[in-house]
Chain A
Amino acid sequence: MKHSSIAISNLDFSYGSSPALNDINLEIPAKSVTAFIGPSGCGKSTLLRCINRMNDEIPIAKITRGGIYLDGIDIHDSSVDVVKLRRDVGMVFQKSNPFPRSIYDNVAYGLRLQGSLPKSVLDQSIEEALRAAALWDEVKDRMNESAFGLSGGQQQRLCIARTIAVKPSIVLMDEPCSALDPIATAKVEELIWDLKAHYTIVIVTHNMQQASRVSDKTAFFYMGNLIEFSETSRIFSNPRVKKTEEYITGRFG
């Protein structure tokens, strides 16, 4: 299955008894970049984790209403295999979380899960993924060293490489550039542009310039509610809601 468009309808979500998302309705077209923006704690990560069902791992987390559809298929349907879903919907986490293994093994991890590949194929895919994540030049001579020896920004790019190595059709990125310098950030943004040709991308960011640079559409969240969702150019030039304008111009949040 190769899904690419995401539809979120009437989604209510809560952690235990405290609601985190209220009545979210969102249509994310295939092969586009969508940015989620909003103040800290407004539920961006929570929504992102709903899309690949990572919230299943949190015992108290549950969707109380509504659902999420990838190309029209309900991801909570009993016929959907959550393992295959996650293979298809890659995720870069907010906290970078490389495995305490070598750089090579980190990127190879997802590929090896799908069966044993010849070494040459594996090497090739790993190089491609690392190049795409703008990390290849820095690590090509130390592939067998521990990933924990990398800097914070390098670790973040390693996690991006690890995610795109398995070629998912949707890539969810939770602040992928939070620890990167402007040059690496520019490279990741370039990567997002490249990926857009084949993948659907959702990116959470606190950087307004980044949102306006990379995304086609932008969703603004506030306290668990979707306040505004439209073309990025429109959100940044002519927002409909006052709250959005205040946030974008930095008057709060």
Chain B
Amino acid sequence: MFNPENLILKGLPKGHIKDRVVRSLMAGLTYAIVLIAALLFGKIIVDGAPVLFKAQAPFVDFEFLTAKNETLHVFDDAQGTRHQLPASAYSDYIKKHEGTPIFNETTYSYSGGGIAGPIVGTILLTVGSMILALFFGVCAAIYLSEYAKQSPFIHAVRLAILNLAGIPSIVFGLFGFSVFVLAVPVITATPSDRSLLCVPLFINDYVMSFQGWNSSLMAGCATLACMILPVIITASEESLRAVPQGFRDASLALGATRWQTIRKCVIPFSLSGILTSSLLAITRVAGETAPIMFTAAVAAKDDLPWQGLKSPFDLLSSQVQALPYHIYTLAARIPSSEYTQRAQYGSVFVFLVIVAFLSLGSMILRSKLRSKLKW
């Protein structure tokens, strides 16, 4: 017999109290995390946004984004007005006011000018390493998912790749340093003294010298690519496997070769997945400091990467500045003061904005492609 009395709550049964305690504990922890994130972002936005944005049109301080990084000179002139000038403007000022004395001069490294160098460097590193990683990663994923027999050996390979994803980035940095910076072969007529091995090529004086690429854009891209390869391979393989077997069967049964099938029936339908997961890898590449510290990054550089180059190849073999490394330098190498905060918070803020845009982009792309491709 149904008894309506049973449904009516009398007092608080024991289970309910436990339920509520667990519930409020979980909620408390969740909101604590949200609070920490809010404080972190709040601080950066409050201190960083004013550097990039202005009250008057055009509202964005393009100067900060497009100017080179310089030392900041702070001094008082004879009238007691305080000046803050980046190195180039400072020397102009001195020339113009020759003879008039200046007082209380202090200099702050890296704090003047803008952050064009680090932004451009980060873009070059990101694009270069993504091209490398996508090429090698997608090829490996295609082999693993479409060609390789599912033997224990292939499972071991897959496991090794997965484990590679868990290696700390500083280890990749050191690996890149010892391999790409010091050991990979280059073809040159004038091998360096520390070349590990010289193989004569019998074309004029040219030899293949195992002397590495030095600290350079090239070495940095290769190191970053190694770091995200496991992510790209795993994600690409997953996207390839998500393509229904029926498409492959239909294509093969119509007399397509395996490569035709992959090209026409597998890659087109997994491309969206590959690209969106790669976008997530981009944010990682753009944000890493450790792998580029020894392989590509330089704290200060007078020219933008493409200025003063003799050949395009020089771009690849020159060092670059990079945003995350720049932030590290600003935070660790120079004492914080009211004059350095502009550069410090500004850089962090710009960096956050870039990463946020990349993540947003990948989210939008993913939802767009998801809704378009259904089976």
Q: In the assembled complex, which residues on chain A have CB atoms less than 8 Å from the CB atom of B255?
A: 83-84, 86-88, 110, 113-114, 166
Cβ-neighbour of A99 out of B149, B150, B250 (below 8 A): B250
Question: Mostly helix, strand, loop or mixed at chain B's interface?
Answer: helix
A99-B265, A100-B373 in contact; A90/B247 too (CB < 8 A)?
Answer: no
Q: Is B213 an interface residue (CB 8 A)?
A: no
Q: Is B254 an interface residue (CB 8 A)?
A: yes
Interface string of A101-137 (1 = CB under 8 A from B): 0000000011001100000000000000000000000
Q: Is A193 an interface residue (CB 8 A)?
A: no
Would you call B256 and A83 a contact (CB within 8 A)? yes
Chain B, 220-257, CB within 8 A of any chain A CB: 244-257
Q: Is A21 an interface residue (CB 8 A)?
A: no
Q: From residue B81, how far is it (CB to closest CB) to chain A in Å?
A: 69
A114 to B257, CA, bound (A): 11
Q: From residue A115, how far is it (CB to closest CB) to chain B in Å?
A: 12
Q: Is A217 an interface residue (CB 8 A)?
A: no
Which among B248, B249, B254, B256 has the highest number of chain A CB atoms within 10 Å?
B254
Instruction: Give the size of the chain A interface in residues (CB under 8 angstroms).
Output: 26
A186 to B269, CA, bound (A): 35
Q: Is A188 an interface residue (CB 8 A)?
A: no
Interface string of B278-297 (1 = CB under 8 A from A): 00000000000000000000
A159 to B249, CA, bound (A): 12
Interface string of B184-217 (1 = CB under 8 A from A): 0000000000000000000000000000000000
A83 to B255, CA, bound (A): 5
Q: Is B260 an interface residue (CB 8 A)?
A: yes
Q: In the assembled complex, which residues on chain A have CB atoms less than 8 Å from the CB atom of B253?
A: 52, 54, 86, 90-91, 93, 163
Would you call A162 and B149 a contact (CB within 8 A)? no
* Minimal Cβ-Cβ distance residue in B for A59: B150
Q: From residue A87, how far is it (CB to closest CB) to chain B in Å?
A: 3
Interface string of B13-42 (1 = CB under 8 A from A): 000000000000000000000000000000
A83-B257, A93-B246 in contact; A109/B252 too (CB < 8 A)?
Answer: no
Q: In the assembled complex, which residues on chain B have CB atoms less than 8 Å from the CB atom of A93?
A: 246, 249-250, 253
A59-B149, A163-B254 in contact; A100/B249 too (CB < 8 A)?
Answer: no
Would you call B256 and A148 a contact (CB within 8 A)? no
Would you call B254 and A90 a contact (CB within 8 A)? yes
Q: Is B153 an interface residue (CB 8 A)?
A: no
Q: From residue B260, how far is it (CB to closest CB) to chain A in Å?
A: 6
A86 to B256, CA, bound (A): 8
A54 to B251, CA, bound (A): 11
Would you call B244 and A97 a contact (CB within 8 A)? yes
Would you call A95 and B251 a contact (CB within 8 A)? no
Q: Is A141 an interface residue (CB 8 A)?
A: no
Q: Is B374 an interface residue (CB 8 A)?
A: yes
Q: In the assembled complex, which residues on chain A have CB atoms less than 8 Å from the CB atom of B252?
A: 54, 57, 86
Q: From residue A143, how far is it (CB to closest CB) to chain B in Å?
A: 19
Q: From residue B242, how far is it (CB to closest CB) to chain A in Å?
A: 13
Would you call A97 and B260 a contact (CB within 8 A)? no
Q: In the assembled complex, which residues on chain B have CB atoms less than 8 Å from the CB atom of A109?
A: 251, 254, 264
Q: In the assembled complex, which residues on chain B have CB atoms less than 8 Å from the CB atom of A99?
A: 247, 250-251, 265
A52 to B250, CA, bound (A): 12
A59 to B146, CA, bound (A): 12
A87 to B265, CA, bound (A): 17
Q: Is B2 an interface residue (CB 8 A)?
A: no
Cβ-neighbour of B249 out of A54, A114, A148, A162 (below 8 A): A54
Would you call B254 and A86 a contact (CB within 8 A)? yes
Would you call B374 and A97 a contact (CB within 8 A)? no
A83-B256, A91-B253, A113-B260 in contact; A97/B247 too (CB < 8 A)?
Answer: yes
* Minimal Cβ-Cβ distance residue in B for A58: B245
Q: From residue A16, how far is it (CB to closest CB) to chain B in Å?
A: 12
A83 to B150, CA, bound (A): 22
Q: From residue B262, how far is it (CB to closest CB) to chain A in Å?
A: 13
Cβ-neighbour of A57 out of B244, B249, B254, B256 (below 8 A): B249
* Minimal Cβ-Cβ distance residue in A for B250: A97
Q: Is B375 an interface residue (CB 8 A)?
A: yes
A84 to B256, CA, bound (A): 9
Would you call B254 and A87 a contact (CB within 8 A)? yes
Q: From residue B264, how far is it (CB to closest CB) to chain A in Å?
A: 8
A227 to B39, CA, bound (A): 76
Q: From residue B373, how far is it (CB to closest CB) to chain A in Å?
A: 7
Would you call B254 and A113 a contact (CB within 8 A)? yes
A91 to B251, CA, bound (A): 10
Chain A, 224-239, CB within 8 A of any chain B CB: none
* Minimal Cβ-Cβ distance residue in A for B261: A113
Listed by A's residue number, 30 A-B pairs whose Cβ atoms lie within 8 Å are A52-B253, A54-B249, A54-B252, A54-B253, A57-B249, A57-B252, A59-B150, A83-B257, A84-B255, A86-B252, A86-B253, A87-B254, A87-B255, A88-B255, A90-B254, A93-B246, A93-B250, A93-B253, A95-B246, A97-B249, A100-B269, A100-B375, A113-B254, A113-B255, A113-B260, A148-B374, A159-B250, A162-B254, A163-B254, A166-B254
Known contacts A54-B249, A83-B256, A113-B260; 11 additional CB pairs below 8 A are: A57-B248, A83-B257, A87-B254, A90-B253, A90-B254, A93-B253, A98-B250, A99-B251, A110-B254, A148-B374, A148-B375
| 8 interchain residue pairs of minimum CB distance | A87-B255, A97-B246, A110-B254, A91-B253, A97-B250, A86-B255, A113-B256, A83-B257
Identify the B interface with A (CB < 8 A).
149-150, 244-257, 260, 264-265, 269, 373-375
